[in-house]
A = this chain, B = another copy of it.
Amino acid sequence: MKQVSIGFLGCGNIGGGVWRLLSEMHDELVLRHGIDVCVRRVLVKDIPEALALNAGKGLDVPREILTEKAGDVTGDPQVDIVCEFMGGEQPAARFMLDALENGKTVITANKVALALNWAQLQAAAERTGAGLWYEASVGGVIPVIRVLNTNLEADRIDRVMGIINGTTNYILTRMSQEGRDYAEVLEEAQKLGLAEPNPEADVEGMDAAYKLSILASLAFHGRVTYQKVYREGISSISAMDIAFGREMGYTLKLLAIAKKDGNVVEVRVHPTFLPHAHPLARVDGSLNAIFIHGAYCRDMMLQGRGAGDMPTASAICGDIVSAASGDRPFYPSFRNTVEDDPSFEFTNDWTTRYYIRLSAVDEAGVLTRLAACFSQENVSIASMMQKTAAKDGLVQLVFITHPASEQAVRRAIGHMDGKICRLERMIRVEE
């Protein structure tokens, strides 16, 4: 039997879940894999506070393995595997680096620390022969990291599209199903613990963008940094646009999209309309789902719990078993550099359909003048809907375009006369 000693960096929600899973499954893991997994050291911010919290949750983490010094975990010669559950970029990334430099395998669910420090972490791991595992960093229990790293390694992936932020998906689902406004649903989500007190990282799309930079790097076999991801959040989405879109056959999701065509790469996170029948349109609430398309595999979809202590713990403990069994770690096969892959041409001029809502004066000839602006830029309109005048005397005009260049659409809108109309909202449409 193989002894496997684990150190925890942090012991909050996820750490507590991993502790519980390892306790409950300890004997089963001995039987299945011949590994005797034991947690030896746990870093916490404040020992008395941690003892009280653990007692409240019924976690029997012994007093003597708690420490307030990271070095007691990352430098403990008895610890084989360091699991990081702190969240946030620093000091998590620094502690992981210390552990790797001490030859310890690191397992993390921390997309921020990984996305921003991947090159340094991987270089340290390769130098000392330690493993670096991060299945839980994207999509919770969804096995997307391993699938991209193993199953699809002989394929040529050209598209990854996903709902990879549970908070925004919950908010949009509620807004959509109940016709309610953003601020109201956000407040409710915060009360339920489904949104952070400071929700910015989720609702402005940063969380999804970190995850997309990881997925795109693996899928395209070249580094795509966070900085390259175009990003729009959901905080300015109105119940009106969700309702209009629904009427025209679309469901709104915060989508993370990565596409590669030849060397041209686009990576973007933004609210996106999907046809009601699209598989991702049906992924509601706190579920996550990732759609992958490749030259040979064609379309594939992976769906599951993107968050939650026990699903995330399941993914982390899957990594523990793999690391303890000597599996090849998740070192991606791209050059180990902080730069974006020099062979990639990043574009901000993608082609997609657009939902464009304008407020316009209610006069004859207005529509003709607006249509001329679109046609001037070769933007072709697939459908149009006019909503009767609101109290300000303006009508709402909604256009859905045929596939068009983003920059052409922006230019077309730029041509429009500000005296007759105003752009209220532009939302991209995927199919």
Contact = CB atoms under 8 A, between A and B. Distances in A.
A382 interface: no
Interface in A252-296: 279, 282, 294-296
A348 interface: no
Interface in A106-141: 135, 141
Contacts of A300: 141-143, 302-305
B315 A151 contact: yes
A349 interface: no
A64 interface: no
A42 to B, nearest CB: 19
Interface residues of A, number: 51
Interface in A181-240: 221
What number of copies of this chain does the assembly contain?
Answer: 2
A327 B296 contact: no
Given A328-B325, A328-B327, A25 B318 contact: no
A63 interface: no
Contacts of A146: 143, 146-147, 150-151
A2 interface: no
A5 B142 CA distance: 34
A153 B34 CA distance: 12
A21 interface: yes
A418 interface: no
Given A141-B297, A313-B296, A328-B325, A318 B153 contact: yes
A313 B322 CA distance: 25
A297 B304 CA distance: 8
A317 interface: yes
A16 interface: no
Interface in A137-195: 141-143, 146-147, 150-156
Contact of A153 (B295, B321, B328): B321
A52 interface: no
A308 B304 contact: no
Nearest to A25: B154
Interface string A23-47: 0010011001100000000000000
A142 B318 CA distance: 19
14 contacts: A25-B156, A141-B297, A143-B146, A143-B300, A150-B318, A150-B322, A151-B318, A153-B318, A154-B321, A296-B314, A297-B305, A297-B311, A298-B311, A327-B328
Nearest to A302: B302
Contacts of A3: none
B297 A28 contact: no
A135 to B, nearest CB: 7
A222 to B, nearest CB: 10
A299 interface: yes
A286 to B, nearest CB: 11
B304 A301 contact: yes
Contacts of A304: 297-301
B150 A298 contact: no
Contacts of A311: 296-298
